[in-house]
Amino acid sequence: MEKQIVEPVGVYPPTADFSQAIRVSGGDLVFVSGIIGMRPDGTMPAAAREQVELAFANLAAVLDAAGATPSDVVKVNVFVRDDFRLVRDDVREIRARYFTHDFPVSTLVQVAGFAGPEYRFEIEAIAAVPSRADAAAAVVAPARASGG
């Protein structure tokens, strides 16, 4: 699987840590639903920063369950309820812990509301990972013990 960051000439540079385009060849795609900052017990912190922290941790856990990591993410959509200017620094700081290079393409949308009135942040993602067939072919069979 190959991931190529596209850097177009004659277009404004990214305004934050994201890529304007990524070309992926080979491999499988993992589509992750919108992930919110909810704890496993179903509760949510009131503060936006804590919800962002939990949402990114939840995203990483979902990716892991699918055999992917944040570095495999090629596209994210981020949704914020609050005025983005109020949460921008927190979102950028937390995001930078998960996306450290070859940044995914990204869209940010400020929304009037979510499915629940306490929700303040949501992120969805698409990851590109080596195909299972390619991964299986790369596994080397263990050496057999010699019999006497």
Interval 21-56: pLDDT, tens: 889 988 899 999 999 999 999 999 999 999 999 999
Q: Where are the domains of the chain?
A: 2-9+26-131
Fold of 2-9+26-131: 60s Ribosomal Protein L30; Chain: A; (3.30.1330)
Instruction: Indicate the SS3 state at residue 136.
Output: helix
Please check the confidence at residue 148 and state whether its pLDDT lies above 70.
no
pLDDT at residue 7 is higher than 60: yes
> How high is the pLDDT of residue 58?
97
pLDDT at 2 over 60: yes
What is the pLDDT confidence band of residue 70, given thresholds at 50, 70 and 90? very high
Report H helices in the chain: 48-65, 84-98, 132-138
Q: What is the mean pLDDT of the chain?
A: 88
**Cα-flanking dihedrals φ and ψ of residue 89, to 5°?**
-65, -40
Q: What's the whole-number mean pLDDT along residues 1-11? A: 87
Pairing of strands 73-80, 105-110: parallel
Beta bridge partners of 127: 30, 73
Give the distance, in angstroms, between the CA of residue 147 and the centroid of all CA atoms in the same chain: 49
Q: Which tens digit of pLDDT belongs to each residue from 120-135?
A: 999 999 999 988 765 5
Q: Identity (one letter) of the amino acid at 65?
A: A
Query: How much is the average pLDDT of 78-86?
Result: 90
CB 134 within 8 A of CB 26: yes
Q: How far is CA 31 from CA 10, 37, 74, 116, in A?
A: 31, 18, 10, 22
